[in-house]
Amino acid sequence: MKNKEFWFITGGQHLYGTDAFAEMRAHSEEISAYLTSKLPCKVVSKGLVTLPDEISAVIAEANYDKNCAGVIMWMHVFSPSKMWIAGLKALQKPMLHLHTQYNREIPWDTIDMDFMNLNQSAHGDREHGFIVSRMGIRRKVVVGHWQNEDVIEKIGSWMRAAAAWDYSNSLKVARFGDNMREVAVTEGDKVEAQIKLGWSVNGYGMGDLVEVINAVTDAEVDAKMAEYAQKYEFNTDNTDAVRIQAKYECGMRKFLENGGFGAFTTTFEDLHGLRQLPGLAVQNLLADGYGFGAEGDWKTSALTAVMKYMAQGLAGGTAFMEDYTYHLEQGKEMVLGAHMLEVCPSIAAGKPKIEVHPLGIGGKEDPARLVFDGQQGRAVAVTLLDMGDRFRMVCAVVELNKIRKKMPQLPVARVLWKPLPDLAAGAEAWILAGGAHHTCLSNALTVENLRDFAEIAGIEFLVIDENTTIPEFKKELMYNDIYYKLNR
């Protein structure tokens, strides 16, 4: 993500003469350099544009530049917007409109008409906002001085989303086996997903994967075991079962690397040629940034890959997750989240333990897996649904709690959380929205990151948080249905 560029385009015009151009260019350079020092990606000043051809040229260049993940526009002075129509019509990259001013404060004692004319974003950016709205172009608007922390944070959130959008559009997902039979919510239109989100999702026979796994050497397995010993605590004597997972991981990793895949799925209903359901193997791949969805859930797999990309460098983790079981003690209601095996150790509170236990489902050998308790703090649980005529993203805010009980009979990674505003309203809203049991859970990302991403992608976005009330949420669902039917 560090290598992605965001182009800073400053707008002006010739009305006041060209004397001020050098000063405006210098401001553009200074602001870009400052933003670069504070943000996860590089902000590159593209100088000042003052004529229709210049505007169209820089936008055309942005569209075709592979490193450019978005454009940031700012009208230093008034920049008549009919000059921008051709350029904006061609714009294909995410856009942020930074409504700022070089000077933080009005120089009360010296202010004159020259200052007024040079620091004109207050009306230049309104003209710009009009044409972008008139043309129906999605963008994020950020208001405030460019050195303010809240301004930097908002730009940073969008920058992560825009960089993840760039990644999303080249994401390849390998499906080992099909979806779990008869399951609806994890299904969807893969062609539409590629059109809307850029995901190339394709299936591979288990035989193709098993062939790669069988070619893994003992030396490769030894090296992988050494890596496990360094990262995790062995809480089993069944080394043979762990070696099988090490071999699976080496094989899967090769398969994914050779095909350029960023995400994958497995299903316990199709494990031909494998003795165990991949558990530890999947968990260690997730820890390295691969997306994963169990039971053939390619939507959650791709979403997890995108969210992991977006969260690079942030504290906390991002994991494939499932709402598994409830604690319904009145007033202390909580969700216990887990999966059969495949929870990412990036959300582990301590050093995960490698254990080998029987698996009730699938009829295979006892699989090795990582067991741990999850971290605490605020997190988002995100799901992506195919509603038939559109993709809907639901983002729920949850509070991750400390797990105070030992649960000695539960041999999986687990996370305990309280949905907001509480389990009753949170789960009711989730179910009304059609939210899945599979999610991507992240205590690294925020609602704003996901909202920015959904807006860039142009997909429906619903939030469930401390402000959610069921009557209002129902209205939002109803209005959205109408909106998307009108805008098909």
Q: At what angle do helices 239-259 and 280-287 cross, to 10 degrees?
A: 50
156 vs 296 by CB, closer to Mn ion:
296
283 vs 449 by CB, closer to Mn ion:
283
CB of 296 to Mn ion, least distance (A): 10
Asked if 441 touches Mn ion (CB under 5 A), the answer is no
CB of 199 to Mn ion, least distance (A): 20
245 vs 265 by CB, closer to Mn ion:
265
Helix (H) or strand (E) holding 46: strand 42-49
- Both structure tokens of 482: 């109408």
Interface residue with Mn ion among 151, 173, 241, 294 (CB under 5 A) is 294
The amino acid at 423: L
In terms of Cα–Cα distance, which of 33, 87, 140 is closest to 456? 140
151 vs 340 by CB, closer to Mn ion:
340
164 vs 321 by CB, closer to Mn ion:
321
58 vs 183 by CB, closer to Mn ion:
183
Q: Which stretch binds Mn ion (CB under 5 A): 65-73, 316-324, 329-337, 473-481?
A: 316-324
116, 106 Cβ separation under 8 angstroms: no
CB of 322 to Mn ion, least distance (A): 5
CB of 466 to Mn ion, least distance (A): 28
12 vs 337 by CB, closer to Mn ion:
337
CB of 374 to Mn ion, least distance (A): 17
301 vs 468 by CB, closer to Mn ion:
301
Q: Which stretch binds Mn ion (CB under 5 A): 26-34, 215-223, 288-296, 298-306?
A: 288-296
Q: Which stretch binds Mn ion (CB under 5 A): 79-87, 318-326, 341-349, 372-380?
A: 318-326
Residue number with the smallest Cβ distance to Mn ion: 294
Q: Which stretch binds Mn ion (CB under 5 A): 187-195, 231-239, 295-303, 392-400?
A: 295-303
CA 31 – CA 324 distance, rounded (Å): 48
CB of 293 to Mn ion, least distance (A): 8
277, 359 Cβ separation under 8 angstroms: yes
- How many of the chain's residues bind Mn ion (CB under 5 A)? 3
94, 29 Cβ separation under 8 angstroms: no
CA 288 – CA 444 distance, rounded (Å): 15
294 vs 398 by CB, closer to Mn ion:
294
Q: Which stretch binds Mn ion (CB under 5 A): 163-171, 294-302, 423-431, 472-480?
A: 294-302
119 vs 267 by CB, closer to Mn ion:
267
- 230 to 49, 182, 234, 288, 316: CA distances (angstroms): 54, 41, 10, 15, 20
Cα radius of gyration (the chain) = 25
Q: In angstroms, how far apart are the furthest CA atoms of the chain?
A: 82
Tokens 């950016």 identify what position? 125
In 100-243, beta strands by DSSP E: 140-143, 172-176, 200-204, 233-234
Residue 297 CA from chain centroid, whole number: 17
CB of 245 to Mn ion, least distance (A): 19
The 319-338 contact track toward Mn ion, x by CB under 5 A, reads: ---x----------------
CB of 294 to Mn ion, least distance (A): 5
Across 300-320, b (16+ Cβ under 10 Å) vs e yields bbbbbbbbbbbbbebebbbbb
Strands 172-176 and 263-265: parallel
In terms of Cα–Cα distance, which of 375, 419, 377, 369 is closest to 398? 419
CB of 340 to Mn ion, least distance (A): 7
* Residues near Mn ion, by CB under 5 A: 294-295, 322
